[in-house]
Amino acid sequence: MSNIYGLVAEFDSPDTLLRGAEAAREAGYRKMEAYSPFPVHGLSEVMGHDDPRLPWAVFIMGVIGCATGFGLESWTAAVNYPFNIGGKPYFSWPNFIPVAYELTILFAAFTAGLSMLILNGLPRYHHSIFNTPRFERASSDLFFLCIEARDGKYDAEETTQFLENLGAQLVSEVEK
């Protein structure tokens, strides 16, 4: 088992990063990640960031939240503890809508936030990408593209050559 996390290419502009990422994806690389100081328009499309699991998880939990709110209200108001409020029927469903709605939002929002963290593998103490030389400048003026060693197409020499051809100013092998 090698001790290499991957190859990291350093670019000096968002344009070269975007084009580099596009070329890498076209070349068949999949396990890769881009790092930039600010959101680069179109980058996430190029990287193929569209995990279908998150929207579905949010939707399903939203439905469960709605059912929980509505069910709890119906059961308490009509079955468990029937109580005459303003002469209305016990099962007064219009009154149950606000709470059902709020629980839909609550469940969906928490699922979105927590799933985002879990799917991103967060929280964690350390990430190998920080072994990259000059990586702190990803928060100020440099743009990085990392191709991970676990990618099927990864080959230390060939991939280095490929990244250099993309116009990277520096390609470094990064340890785990």
Partner 1 sequence: MDSGMVFPKLINRIGAVGPILAVIGVAFLAVGASAGVSQFYHAWINGWIFWMSLSTGCFGLMLLSLMVRAQWCRPVFRIFEAGAWNFPLLAFLFIPIIAAAATHHLFPWAHPAMVASDPILRYRAHWFNTPFITVRVFTIFLTFMVFLSWLTRLGKVQDTHPETRRRLQVATSRASLAAPGFLVMVLAITIGITDWVMSLDPHWYSTIYGFLFLIGSGLAAMTFAVILVTQMAIDKVQPYEELVTKQTTRDWGNLLLMMTMVWAYFSISQYLITWSGNLPEEVSFYIARNAGTFAWVTSMIVICQFFLPFLLLLSSRLKRRPNMLRNAAILIFTTRIVEVSWNVIPMFHNWRGADSGLMVQFQGLVSYIGAFLLIGGVWLALFVRNFKRGTLVPELDPQLLEVLEHAH
Q: Among candidates 135, 102, 165, 140, which has minimal Cα distance to 33?
A: 135
* Residue 30 token pair: 């999949």
Name the residue nearer to partner 1 (CB basis): 86 or 121. 86
Please report how close the Cβ of residue 18 comes to partner 1 at its closest, in angstroms: 8
Dihedral sign, Cα of residue 109, residue 115, residue 118, residue 121:
negative
Going from the C-alpha of 160 to that of each of 99, 137, 157, 174, the distances in angstroms are 57, 21, 5, 12
Name the residue nearer to partner 1 (CB basis): 49 or 176. 49
Name the residue nearer to partner 1 (CB basis): 44 or 161. 44
Name the residue nearer to partner 1 (CB basis): 27 or 60. 60
Name the residue nearer to partner 1 (CB basis): 95 or 169. 95
Task: Report the alpha-carbon distance of residue 67 to residue 127 in Å, rounded.
Answer: 40
Name the residue nearer to partner 1 (CB basis): 7 or 18. 18
Task: Report the alpha-carbon distance of residue 24 to residue 13 in Å, rounded.
Answer: 17
Please report how close the Cβ of residue 97 comes to partner 1 at its closest, in angstroms: 6
Please report how close the Cβ of residue 41 comes to partner 1 at its closest, in angstroms: 4
Please report how close the Cβ of residue 15 comes to partner 1 at its closest, in angstroms: 8
Task: Report the alpha-carbon distance of residue 24 to residue 117 in Å, rounded.
Answer: 26
Please report how close the Cβ of residue 98 comes to partner 1 at its closest, in angstroms: 7
Q: Among candidates 167, 150, 121, which has minimal Cα distance to 9?
A: 167
Q: Which residues bind partner 1 (CB under 8 A)?
A: 14-15, 18, 40-42, 45, 50, 55, 59, 86, 94-95, 97-98
Please report how close the Cβ of residue 131 comes to partner 1 at its closest, in angstroms: 30
Length of the chain counted residue by residue:
176
